[in-house]
Amino acid sequence: KAKRILIPEFNQAGWMHKELTSILYGQCPAQIVAGPRVYGGMTMPTEMILEWLQDARKRIK
């Protein structure tokens, strides 16, 4: 059982986070966290993901 679900976003609107949150609401005890985000068809560099995860761990305890 997951404690957290991290949803990377590849668009500005954040539709994937909204969609998954609406589907999983009440079905899963895990905390659903949006991010990291990149825009305009950019690739998501590994360093960006690792930095975001490190910051998220500090914020979410």
DSSP 35: E
Report domain extents, the chain.
4-59
Sorting pLDDT into bands at 50, 70 and 90, what band is 61?
low
Per-residue pLDDT at 57: 82
Tens of pLDDT along 15-54? 888 888 899 888 888 888 887 777 666 677 788 888 888 8
Residues whose CB falls within 8 Å of the CB of residue 49, separated by 6 or more in sequence, listed in order = 8, 36
Pairing of strands 31-37, 4-9: parallel
* Res 12 pLDDT > 80: no
